[in-house]
């Protein structure tokens, strides 16, 4: 077995730190997990027997690796981590999509993955450049939701649109004219909700794309936080694909 390296974007594998994300990897994407690291202090954990049973069932190697865990987690309190191969999954053509354009913040990415799973948006496109979706910090913030999602990256929006030309497009923009409720009430599946970057939003030309949507809010704030805006958008549109 090759030695495990501290996480870096260029590695072909990543780490799912924490018991819960680790269990999600084992349950939802067992084929991607090459081994599981456990801390020597994890013995007292209630969840450990379940974790070990899952690994046994799937013939996944378990190692006690205190130092590797400390290196990976950059915190002291991670007692388990799954080592998993990074994968991309082509999106389902008939499902509704969430499209993130140049998302820059790892915490936002994790929160958005968790909410997307909650509102049954199981297909997510990421338009590059973007924060690293497989970063252990994102996996952890997502509570392992990453392993239940199909995620595909594109070098530009045009490539996404060419691959999924049937989707009705809903770019979320401060300058858009259609209020969220109205857009959501009239939406016909399959559709794609498109969210811009944290600082810059979507480029102005997206105003001519599909049906631009606005989340009505008090002008006292410049904009909503990206994870908040994406969550409200998915909540409103989720009524179209019964949860």
* Positions that interact with its own copies (CB under 8 A): 107, 111, 114-115, 117-120, 143, 145, 148, 181, 215-218, 220-222, 224-225, 227-228, 231-232, 235, 238-239, 243
Rounded CA gap, 231 and 112, in Å?
7
Q: How far is the CB of 216 from its own copies (least distance, A)?
A: 6
Cα torsion 179, 180, 185, 191: sign:
positive
State the angle between helix axes of 19-28 and 48-57 in degrees (0 to 180), rounded to the nearest 10: 20
**For its own copies, the closer CB: 152 or 225:** 225
**Could you tell me which residues come within 8 angstroms of residue 82 by beta carbon, excluding any fewer than 6 positions away?**
15, 16, 21, 22, 25, 26, 33, 35, 36, 37
CA atoms within 13 A of residue 218's CA, in its CB half-sphere: 2
Q: How far is the CB of 110 from its own copies (least distance, A)?
A: 9
Q: How do 213-214 and 61-64 pair as beta strands?
A: unpaired
**For its own copies, the closer CB: 208 or 218:** 218
Distances in Å between the Cα of 120 and the Cα atoms of 11, 110, 150, 235, 240 are 30, 15, 12, 10, 10
Q: How far is the CB of 129 from its own copies (least distance, A)?
A: 21
**For its own copies, the closer CB: 163 or 224:** 224
Q: How far is the CB of 198 from its own copies (least distance, A)?
A: 12
**For its own copies, the closer CB: 11 or 224:** 224
Q: How far is the CB of 162 from its own copies (least distance, A)?
A: 30
Q: How far is the CB of 171 from its own copies (least distance, A)?
A: 19
- Residues listed for the chain: 243
**For its own copies, the closer CB: 128 or 185:** 185
Q: How far is the CB of 32 from its own copies (least distance, A)?
A: 18
**For its own copies, the closer CB: 30 or 107:** 107
The answer to whether residues 213 and 183 touch, using CB atoms and an 8 Å cutoff, is: yes
Distances in Å between the Cα of 156 and the Cα atoms of 57, 153, 160, 173 are 41, 9, 7, 18
Rounded CA gap, 204 and 72, in Å?
40
**For its own copies, the closer CB: 13 or 121:** 121
């Amino acid at each position: 077995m090759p030695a495990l390296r501290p996480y870096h974007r260029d590695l072909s594998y990543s780490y799912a730190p924490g018991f819960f994300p680790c269990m999600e990897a084992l349950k939802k994407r067992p084929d991607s997990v090459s081994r599981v690291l456990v801390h020597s202090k994890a013995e007292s954990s209630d969840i450990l027997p379940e974790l070990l049973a899952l690994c046994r069932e799937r013939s996944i190697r378990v190692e006690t690796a205190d130092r590797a865990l400390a290196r990976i987690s950059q915190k002291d309190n991670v007692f388990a981590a799954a080592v998993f191969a990074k994968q991309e999954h082509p999106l389902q053509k008939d499902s509704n999509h969430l499209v993130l354009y140049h998302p820059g913040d790892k915490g936002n990415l994790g929160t958005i993955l968790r909410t997307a799973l909650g509102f049954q948006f199981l297909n997510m496109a990421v338009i590059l450049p973007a924060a690293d979706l497989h970063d252990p910090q994102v996996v952890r913030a997502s509570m392992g939701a990453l392993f239940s999602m199909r995620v595909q990256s594109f070098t530009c929006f045009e490539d996404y649109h060419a691959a999924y030309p049937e989707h009705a497009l809903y770019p979320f923009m401060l300058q858009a004219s259609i209020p969220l409720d109205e857009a959501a009430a009239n939406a016909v599946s399959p559709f794609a909700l498109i969210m811009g970057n944290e600082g810059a939003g979507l480029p102005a030309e997206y105003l001519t794309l599909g049906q631009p949507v606005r989340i009505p809010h008090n002008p006292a704030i410049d904009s909503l936080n990206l994870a908040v805006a994406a969550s409200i958008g998915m909540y409103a549109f989720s009524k179209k694909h019964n949860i």
